Amino acid sequence: MNLRSLADAIKTKKLKQAIDWNGALPSHIAIMMDGNGRWAARRGLPRSAGHYAGMQTMRETIRNCLHANVKYLTLYAFSTENWKRPAEEVDYIINLVHQFVTGNTIREINDSNIRIRFIGDISRFSDSTQQVMKNAAAVTGANTGMTVNFAMNYGGRSEIIHALKSVIDDGKEDLTPDEFETYLYTSGCPSPQLVIRTSGEKRLSGFLLWQCAQAELWFTDEMWPSFSELLLYRAIYDYQCRRRGFGS
Ligand code: FPP
């Protein structure tokens, strides 16, 4: 272990002790995994290396959230805008999804009692991609430890229009916000209380526009592949400090 990792391990341990595990904790965290390309460019690597490293970080973060008793985790993996990227890069990301939801990783996810869902308009993906997504959701569908939503071909405005069309199809003329939520891709999940965005960008970029109405926003300059257990705990600790301040 080098000096930096040792210092981080000590800070992580202290933060874990500082968090009130019986107090307000976010049961749903949403993460905008941003900065894979920049992480790679800074190391003189192709963008694909950044996405690959980002997938490893995603796997660790899922594990860290499970240990932190987070019940729902939503990860922004592919936006409706991402189709504008070179086909080669899009194919590489989709191939990572295939790797993730087949083989050892999905087995590990299933053994950890994690349920996987894909939110967004997945009909734009090829039949085989849709099939592996549906299969991963079906295989893990009965798990109760934590739910991980992968937002794929997701855009918040499109989600609201999609929900609205279903409301109209159902002939509803009057409905409450709670009823409207049942038409969203995230139906059944509570709204996220904490949104994390990496890479120094401070925008929502259409992520969970309806669901984030009351969410705390937390930003870090670190690029997604460098996101760590330490940063996750820092975000949870800051969330708790902000909540403690409420009304007092
Ligand atoms: C943002 O960084 C990252 C993405 C667009 C892709 C993220 C995808 C994964 C980590 C793998 C997905 C896998 C599954 C199973 C869902 P960027 O490319 O926008 O970085 P930049 O802003 O530095 O260019």
Domain-embedded: residue 31: yes
Our CA angle for 241, 232, 107, nearest 5°, is 140
Domain-embedded: residue 202: yes
Cα(72) to centroid(ligand 1), Å: 20
Residue 246 has a pLDDT of 58
Domain-embedded: residue 183: no
pTM of the model: 0.95
Residue 3 has a pLDDT of 83
The 3-state DSSP class for residue 222 equals: coil
119-146 in b/e form (b: 16+ CB < 10 A) is bbebeebeeebeebbeebbebbeebeeb
Domain-embedded: residue 96: yes
Active site residue 238: no
Cα(225) to centroid(ligand 1), Å: 9
**Protein residue whose Cα sits closest to atom 7 of ligand 1:** 77
- Mutation to probe ligand 1, out of 32, 51, 52, 119 (largest number of atoms < 8 A from CB): 51
Cα(101) to centroid(ligand 1), Å: 16
Residue 215 and residue 189 in contact, taking contact as beta carbons nearer than 8 Å: no
The per-residue pLDDT string of the chain (248 residues; one tens digit each, 9 = 90 and over) reads 788 888 999 999 999 999 999 999 999 999 999 999 999 999 999 999 999 999 999 999 999 999 999 999 999 999 999 999 999 999 999 999 999 998 889 999 999 999 999 999 999 999 999 999 999 999 999 999 999 999 999 999 999 999 999 999 999 989 999 999 999 999 999 999 999 999 999 999 999 999 999 999 999 999 999 999 999 999 999 999 998 665 44
Cα(90) to centroid(ligand 1), Å: 10
How many folded domains does the chain comprise?
1
Domain-embedded: residue 4: no
Active site residue 82: yes
Domain-embedded: residue 167: no
Half-sphere exposure of 16 (CA within 13 A, CB side): 13
- Mutation to probe ligand 1, out of 31, 36, 60, 105 (largest number of atoms < 8 A from CB): 36
Residue 87 has a pLDDT of 97
Cα(163) to centroid(ligand 1), Å: 26
Residue 241 and residue 219 in contact, taking contact as beta carbons nearer than 8 Å: no
**Protein residue whose Cα sits closest to atom 24 of ligand 1:** 37
Domain-embedded: residue 88: yes
Residues with CB under 6 A from ligand 1: 33-38, 51, 54-55, 58, 77, 82, 93, 96-97, 100, 150, 199
Q: What is the DSSP string of 36-90?
A: HHHHHHHTT--HHHHHHHHHHHHHHHHHHHHHTT--EEEEEEEEGGGGGS-HHHH
Supply the range of the domain harboring residue 109: 26-155+190-210+231-237
Domain-embedded: residue 21: no
Query: Which CATH number do you get for residue 111?
Result: 3.40.1180.10
Tokens 């904790």, located at residue: 25
**Protein residue whose Cα sits closest to atom 14 of ligand 1:** 97
